[in-house]
Amino acid sequence: MELFYTDYWALTGGYKDLDSHTTRMVKALQRAGIADHMPFILEADGSYDARLNQFFRELPLNGVRSPKSWRSYALDLLTWMRFLVQCRGKTIWDGDHDDLVAFHGARRGVTMPLGNLPEPSVDFAQIDASSWNRCVAALDKFYRWAQAKAYIREVPFTYRQGQRRQGEVTETIQRNEALERAARHGDMRFLSMDDYLRFREIGLRGHLPDGRDDPAFRGRNGARNAAFAELLVTTGIRLEEANSFLMIELPTFSLQSSEKNYPFSLAPGITKGEKGRTIRLPKRVLQLLQQYQQIERDSATARAQQKGTYQALSRSIGVMSTKRHTCIIQLGNKRISRQIDRIPPSERCLLYHCAAPGTLIEPLALWLTEQGLPMKTDSWEAIFAQASVRCRQFGFDLEVTPHMLRHTFAVHMLAMLIEEQIGALFPSSGEELGAISDPSTAGAAAYRRLAGDPLRTLQRLLGHASITSTMIYLSNVMEAQKLVDNAIHRYATALSALLGEEDSDG
């Protein structure tokens, strides 16, 4: 059995010849709920299981709207299906609890007797606890859906009741017993600011530890790579979000302005769950982006134009003009208007400015390769891996990924937000320290908000749907000795002022 994805681009010949037959076919697929990039699975004999693939078509109606999430669900179900066929002699509709136990053993490294069944032809690689829990979530959603549709009588999972607090309301929930409690977010990795600077300067920019240029460094695009890392570490946005920026979306700024940060609206089309949000872009980062555009990016597009790279592309979407929120796209003999913030990453990398139909000038994407083409998200993983190797060659034990910079932003930002909250709670006069002993005072309310407000602020910045996801960073902050020391000092200073004593530090 194999996994495939609907590709409207290939189906319509790159939108170059939208004849009436093709148009009717696309509309029929859309009416059937088959979106672009929607996965579907074919059996080993090429047959199409209508019930199974109905599950994928209905994912957007069941709260799963991201093509990336569709892909994850499909891969997990495909692995489970292959396991059932090769190791248990069953189909996905026959899987039971014993099969899940055996599947857990295969994926999590427990020896599994196969009995009279042959060795599987596919290597079921071992996965960590978090990946197992993600797989359980996908299978759980599938089997609950199948039971609701009356395609199966019982789900293969067992559950226990638990309590979850949402604000002032406590609700009863069912917890899947197959989830592993060993999946701990406390293992999340982030960088100290010193380590981040080493990674940026030595790994990405190719400097020596003393700050001088390394004549032996053969890396390229140092300004681009450093600017991208700065964008991640100062905003905490996800890798795909950062890589999907378009030139026309960047805010304008003035070097003479006193503004330190500029609001930037992340388009719903590039965010997880299509939930757009507003972040703050530091002026310093905008300057780095501008420098990258004027030097490395312009050089890359000039080389591509000279070589005829853009005209030789087999896949592109011509943009004739852009306004603040829309762009005019040339599709065959037609021109249509598209709302920019709704264009997904899969199409953004195909957008090119056109002087005339079929005459491509340059990509709209901000981040380009040395050949002048839009960067792929996987390329950043490779760049960061190479930079980490270079850091280790100079004795710095660093292994940095783009997602680690999101964690770095979250931990350090939460620490600073809590320090700000502590400063507001314990002013130097110590006035509010006495007030919090009375629960009816405003000081008590401030005390209760001490951790809540910073967490909710960080939740909005990171784009988490639930504050539970944001709370994983709290344990890392509480382990930061500097934050603890500062909090204790503020508390002691406020207490001594309240008691009319002098601070021993003067």
Task: Report the pLDDT value the prediction gives residue 436, as an integer from 0 to 100.
Answer: 39
- Please indicate, yes or no, if residue 431 is contained in any of the structural domains: yes
Regarding whether 229 and 343 lie in a shared domain, the answer is yes
**Nearest Cα to 415, choosing from 494, 495, 480, 491?**
480
Report, as an integer, the average pLDDT of 162-174. Answer: 69
Looking at residue 169, what is its pLDDT?
A: 67
| Domain stops at, among 176, 204, 223 | 176
CA dihedral 362, 367, 369, 374 (to 10 degrees): -60
Query: Is the model's pLDDT at 221 over the cut of 80?
Result: yes
Assess whether pLDDT exceeds 90 at residue 457: no
- Residue 200: pLDDT over 80: yes
Most confident of the following: 186-200, 214-228, 407-421: 214-228
The pTM of this model reads 0.71
With 0-12 CB in 10 A as exposed, 13-18 as middle and 19+ as buried, what is 441? middle
The model's pLDDT over 247-264, given as tens digits with 9 standing for 90+, comes to 999 988 887 888 888 999
The pLDDT, as a whole number, for residue 502 is 47
Residue 483 has pLDDT above 70, yes or no: no
Q: Per-residue pLDDT tens for 115-143?
A: 554 555 555 778 888 888 899 999 999 99
Q: How confident is the model at residue 506 (pLDDT cuts 50, 70, 90)?
A: very low
Quick one: tokens of 293?
């555009």
Helical segments of 298-376, H only = 298-307, 345-348
Is the model's pLDDT at 275 over the cut of 70?
Answer: yes
| Residue 429 pLDDT grade (very low, low, confident, very high; cuts 50, 70, 90) | very low
Instruction: Name the residue with higher pLDDT: 202 or 10.
Output: 202
Final residue of a domain: which of 176, 197, 216?
176
- Together in a domain, 214 and 126: no
Pairing between β-strand 277-282 and β-strand 317-322 as defined by DSSP bridges: unpaired
> Domain limits at 18?
2-176
Tell me whether residue 182 is in a domain.
no
Q: Do 29 and 111 lie in a common domain?
A: yes
388, 406: one domain: no
**Are residues 381 and 429 both part of a single domain?**
no
The answer to whether residue 474 scores a pLDDT higher than 80 is no
C-alpha span between 180 and 244 (Å, rounded):
34
> Residue 219's pLDDT is what?
81
Asked if pLDDT for residue 55 goes beyond 60, the answer is: yes
CA distance 435 to 192: 36
Q: Please, are residues 52 and 92 in contact by the beta-carbon 8 Å criterion? A: yes
More confident residue, 182 or 60: 60
Domains: count for the chain:
3
Query: What pLDDT, on a 0 to 100 scale, did the predictor assign at position 210?
Result: 92
Is 168 inside a domain boundary? yes
Asked if the structure places residue 504 within a domain, the reply is: no
Q: Which amino acid belongs to residue 422?
A: I
Residue 199 has which token pair?
């990674």
Neighbour tally for 498: CB within 10 Å = 16
| Domain-located, residue 505 | no
Give Cα separations from 161 to 134, 177, 184, 254, 497 (angstroms). Answer: 20, 10, 21, 56, 49
Query: Cα 18 to the chain's mean position, in Å?
Result: 34
d(CA 171, CA 184): 23
Confidence of residue 183 (pLDDT cuts 50, 70, 90): very low
Higher pLDDT, 96 or 496: 96
Residue 357 lies in a domain: yes
Q: Domain for residue 503, yes or no? A: no
173/111 Cα distance (integer angstroms): 33
* Claim to verify: residue 369 and residue 434 sit in the same structural domain: no
Strand partners, 327: 322, 338
pLDDT band with cut points at 50, 70 and 90 for residue 503: very low
Tell me whether strands 317-322 and 326-331 are parallel, antiparallel or unpaired.
Answer: antiparallel
Residues 6+ apart with CB under 8 A from 256: none
Write the pLDDT tens digit of every residue in 300-359: 999 999 999 999 998 888 999 998 789 998 877 788 888 999 898 988 999 999 988 778
Q: Which range has the worst mean pLDDT, 207-216, 223-232, 257-266? A: 257-266
- Per-residue pLDDT band for 439 (boundaries 50, 70, 90) equals very low
Give a yes or no: residue 440 inside a domain. yes
Sign for the CA dihedral angle at 384, 473, 452, 169 comes to positive
- pLDDT tier at 273 (50, 70, 90 boundaries)? confident
How many Å is the Cα radius of gyration of the chain? 27
Instruction: Give the pairing type, strands 2-5 and 169-176.
Output: unpaired
Q: Is the pLDDT of residue 437 over 90?
A: no
Strand pairing category for 317-322 and 351-356: parallel
Judgement on whether residues 192 and 122 belong to the same structural domain of the protein: no
In this structure, the answer to whether residues 9 and 140 fall within a common structural domain is yes
